[in-house]
Chains A and B, each alone.
Chain A
Amino acid sequence: EIVMTQSPATLSVSPGETATLSCRVSKSVSGNLAWYQQKPGQAPRLLIYGASTRATGIPARFTGSGSGTEFTLTIRSLQSEDFAVYYCQQHDNWPPEFTFGQGTKLEIK
């Protein structure tokens, strides 16, 4: 079983600043990692797939990077609507083993 570990659990950042979220995977998944954003009372929304490709309609301030076992989601110029919970998910193996990280809550400082 592939284990996804996200850090930190909670991140406090001021609007306008940059947030850096991490996701570590227990085995290499090459560049096959996705990030989702979830706001209270809403379904998750795909932000990034393939480690660095933004999904349709996702602003350029969201940047994904990394490969292998270490991945990062960077959100620049934080806006009020960016404060949410973020999850990572690997999409490398087949049949798919759909496991998510435990999430990072990005809160307003």
Chain B
Amino acid sequence: QLQLQESGPGLVKPSQTLSLTCSVSYAAITSGDFYWSWIRQPPGMGLEWIGYIYYSGSTFYNPSLESRLTMSVDTSKNHFSLRLGSVTAADTAVYYCARSGTYKKNFFDSWGQGTLVTVSS
């Protein structure tokens, strides 16, 4: 049973960089059938997709966040990471990592438990 686990600081200062890692267990991140995404949810609000990465390193980002966003993958550690720069209070949210499929199967069938990141001085 695939497991995803987010990790990283729970508190980030404004203007700094938010960094999170998603560790994947019981499945190989190198499977060509899947993409690996970050999704966030501000307190009391809905879901916002941030971006995805393929095991090859190719990425696709939400245009609204693209200028501040970098995603990377480490296949040797079976994990992928998120860096979001120049954060503000508006970036405070629960951050989830999730897996989706390929063409026409790009729905999220597995999710991490989520990690709350608060942007505050």
**Could you list which residues of chain A lie within 8 angstroms of chain B, going by C-beta atoms?**
32, 34, 36, 42-46, 49, 55, 87, 89, 91-92, 94-96, 98-103
Contact = CB atoms under 8 A, between A and B. Distances in A.
A95 B60 contact: yes
21 contacts: A34-B107, A43-B96, A43-B98, A43-B113, A44-B96, A45-B111, A46-B107, A46-B108, A55-B109, A87-B47, A89-B108, A91-B104, A94-B106, A96-B35, A96-B52, A98-B39, A98-B106, A99-B49, A101-B46, A103-B46, A103-B47
Contacts of A103: 46-47
Given A43-B96, A44-B47, A100-B47, A94 B104 contact: yes
A contacts with B: majority SS: loop
B98 to A, nearest CB: 8
Interface size class of B (residues with CB under 8 A): 20 to 34
A91 B96 contact: no
A96 B111 contact: no
Given A44-B111, A103-B47, 11 more contacts: A42-B113, A44-B47, A45-B111, A89-B107, A91-B100, A92-B104, A94-B103, A96-B100, A98-B52, A98-B100, A99-B49
Given A91-B105, A91-B106, A98 B111 contact: no
Nearest to A43: B111
B92 interface: no
B118 interface: no
Contacts of A32: 104
